[in-house]
Structure 1
Amino acid sequence: MNQPTHSSTEAALQHYKEGLGAFTQKIPAVAEKFNAFTEACFQEGALSQKEKQLIALGISLATQDEYCTIYHTKGCIDQGATEQEILEACSVAVAFAGGAAMSQAVTLVQECIAELTTKH
């Protein structure tokens, strides 16, 4: 698995946005459909947007997707999730995915929280 080699959360998010932009220019029909589908999935519904971001964070940890872990940690914060709510979502992921998820929760997620909450 390729992992971001950036020293900050903001750099990793920017790297993802740049890659998505280049992909969108090369294959716009696919990117547009993916983006529309994703936006529909994260709209408010029976579950709040915050709950959906917490779920996505847990899945990101369980699947060891570092970019999505960063992206959805930010999404949780942007949707008003507290640090306690984020860490509890991480705990559920760890219950399913074990040590690999734990290593990301105690490092990457906590680093993201620290970086992103100091900017709010």
Structure 2
Amino acid sequence: MNNGIQTSVEAALLHYKEGIGTFTKKMPTIAERFHAFTEACFAEGALTKKEKQLIALGISLATQDEYCTIYHTKGCLDEGASEQEILEACAVAAAFGGGAAMSQTVTLVQECVRELRTTH
């Protein structure tokens, strides 16, 4: 993988963490409630945490949200999703989101998996 991509994936994750930290300082009540809501949404239930991350990745691709695509690709890996499971979820997103979702799958998602898999 080229170093520019590695840096961009790492930089995007850091940029998000810094941004959410700043927002939390400025809007603590909103941030706390948002975090509580998302934690509840991603908690184990009838669906596993891994399944929920795969769904979130698909939605991220369909909505063309690059930060969430990176974040939820990492979430999928953190929850033990295989590359095959990730790519199948991406294929479903591409069936819904078309070429835009597929372009993010064949570039950003695969780059994230290559880079982030080495840290898991």
Displacement of 1:6 in angstroms is: 8.2
Preserved CA contact (<8 Å) 1:60 1:66 = yes
Displacement of 1:9 in angstroms is: 1.6
Whole-angstrom distance in 1 between the partners of 2:16 and 2:6:
11
Whole-angstrom distance in 1 between the partners of 2:6 and 2:110:
16
Preserved CA contact (<8 Å) 1:50 1:79 = yes
| Alignment partner of 1:31 is 2:63 | no
1:71 matched residue in structure 2:
71
**1:11-32 C-alpha deviation (Å, 9 max, x unpaired):** 1111000000000000111111
2:92 matched residue in structure 1:
92
Matched ranges for 1:53-68 at <5 A: 53-68=53-68
Q: Indicate how the Cα distance of structure 1 residues 31 and 6 shifts in structure 2: closer, same or farther if over 3 A, else same.
A: farther
Displacement of 1:52 in angstroms is: 0.1
Q: Which runs of 5+ in 1 are unaligned?
A: none
Preserved CA contact (<8 Å) 1:94 1:101 = yes
Displacement of 1:104 in angstroms is: 0.3
Q: Which runs of 5+ in 2 are unaligned?
A: none
Matched ranges for 1:42-53 at <5 A: 42-53=42-53
| Alignment partner of 1:113 is 2:106 | no
TM-score after normalising by structure 1:
0.93
Identity of paired residues, percent? 77
2:103 matched residue in structure 1:
103
Report which of the two has the higher share of helix: 2
C-alpha RMSD of matched pairs (Å): 1.3
TM-score after normalising by structure 2:
0.93
Preserved CA contact (<8 Å) 1:6 1:12 = no
Preserved CA contact (<8 Å) 2:6 2:115 = no
1:14 matched residue in structure 2:
14
